[in-house]
Amino acid sequence: MPGGFKNIKPSDGKETQFSSTNQPKNRGRKPKIYTVLKEMGYGAEDVKLAFGELAFYGTKDLQEVANDEERPIIVRIVASSFLEAYKNKDYVKVREIMEHIIGKAVQPSETKLTLADAPQFTWADEEDEE
């Protein structure tokens, strides 16, 4: 393997180059966590319910969940993230987790459209009044 700047040997490229005979043990992308949970029988509502419930846990309960090896890893990760956000007073991290649970808030926007050289229309009622 390469050893860093100016420590790369010419043989490193051949040893690490992919070919039909030199393939990694685990080929392809790792499945996403939602895919794994879905294969285990959990649906989107199950995941949202679990994360939503963790948002109302106290720090002691979150600590217990984060350290409980019997819990699914995704629940432990979210519990740890909530704890870390609390310790660092990081509202942004909590908001990100909550946006994954309930979705982002809808932000209204106004758009004005002006057409240059737009054709002028006259309504029939306006012509009758003239």
Using only C-alpha atoms, what is the Rg of the chain?
Answer: 28
Which pTM does this prediction carry?
A: 0.46
Per-residue pLDDT tens digits of the chain, which is 130 residues long: 456 666 766 666 666 666 777 777 777 777 766 676 678 777 777 777 777 788 889 999 999 999 999 988 778 878 888 898 889 888 777 777 677 666 777 777 787 777 777 677 777 765 555 5
Give the domain ranges of the chain: 31-103
